[in-house]
Amino acid sequence: MSQPPIHVIDSHTQGEPTRVVVSGGPDLGSGPLAGRARRLQLEHHWLRGAVCNEPRGHDAMVGALLCEADEPDCVCGVIFFNNVCNLGMCIHGTIGLTVTLAHLGKIGVGTHRIDTPVGVVVSTLREDGSVEVTNVPSYRTAADVGVDVPGWGTVRGDIAWGGNWFFLIDGQGPEVAFSNLDALTDFTWAVRRELAAQGITGEGGMEIDHIESFGPPGDPALADSRNFVLCPGKAYDRSPCGTGVSGKLACLHADGKLAPGKIWRQAGILDTVFHGSVTPLPAGRILPRVSGRAWVNGEATYFFDPADRFRYGIPASL
Ligand code: PYC
């Protein structure tokens, strides 16, 4: 049977794209979003290729499958994915999803609960069009961990959960600047490979699949820091990466460098800025709030002609 069309709405969050699949996606059944995300990964790989791979997508594209929520009082559920895997949470994607739902007339200004595979998040669409996301509880599991990286020596960083697993590096490797994208990609990719090879993981052996490198901001009047974030498929985040900002906030708070309610201004590699703050929780955890802006910039219907060899995207290997 040929695949019926799917309908998508595109947005970008300060440079980073989100493609929301609003209809025609696979039937993943019901129950907790984590189980449905596993089914998407194992049984419906075609969606990732159709949405995130060329010829329709590219390696920086983040897909967002709109679902029924399982948790009560949520406006919707969502499963985020990129060209290689699902994401636990995605803040730039939640900001994109929020403006997309508003564009569709499904929500207005105000506070909306959204179910995700790692827990419920709360998205607030403000009068001025900006969006604040209250993320899942975030925390640092290890500080100042050394990993030996050929060509770079011992690279030190913190391990933190912000809805995805991050290794956060400060002041090492290539200068964090847009002119250094290739060198930053090589450096962070080498770190990621060595973390995996040396068995350095997040909790429960979870792979650390996001690497975040920090340097000074381009303009200290606008930001406190600039980051480069390498995503699991080797693309870099064009935004400051909200789950990465959550991990950073957890580390800053654990180091006594960020008081509750104080604003941390995190620039990404394009010098677009997310604002973050923390509310302390028991056991050294924090509840991060991260805000930014997104713009709806396209809408499409995808067709799946059985005669089209690349209807599900060009695979990583032929
Ligand atoms: O904003 O959380 C984020 C994110 C994760 C991966 C790409 N963006």
Per residue in 109-163, pLDDT (tens digit) is: 999 999 999 999 999 999 999 999 999 999 999 999 999 999 999 999 999 999 9
Distance of CA 301 to the CA centre of its chain: 24
Q: For residue 187, give the nearest of 158, 226, 214, 225 by alpha carbon.
A: 214
What is the value of pTM for the model shown? 0.98
DSSP string across 159-221: EEESSSEEEEEES-SS-SSGGGHHHHHHHHHHHHHHHHHTT--SGGG----EEEEEE--S-TT
User: Ligand 1 center to residue 307 CA distance, Å?
Assistant: 35
Report the SS3 class of residue 260. coil
Catalytic residue among 67, 76, 90, 251: 90
Whether 90 is catalytic: yes
| Amino acid 8: pLDDT | 98
Report the SS3 class of residue 263. coil
Please, which pLDDT band fits residue 317 given cuts at 50, 70 and 90?
A: confident
Report the SS3 class of residue 248. helix
Residue nearest to atom 6 of ligand 1 (CA): 90
Task: Please name the residue that has the structure tokens 């429960």.
Answer: 204
Residue to probe by mutation, ligand 1, list 237, 249, 275, 291, most atoms within 8 Å of CB: 237
Please, which pLDDT band fits residue 312 given cuts at 50, 70 and 90?
A: very high
Whether 74 is catalytic: no
pLDDT tens string 162-198? 999 999 999 999 999 999 999 999 999 999 999 999 9
How far, CA to CA in Å, does 211 sit from each of 27, 82, 180, 270, 275? 33, 16, 16, 17, 20
**Is 2's pLDDT higher than 90?**
no
Average pLDDT, the chain: 97
pLDDT tens string 57-107? 999 999 999 999 999 999 999 999 999 999 999 999 999 999 999 999 999
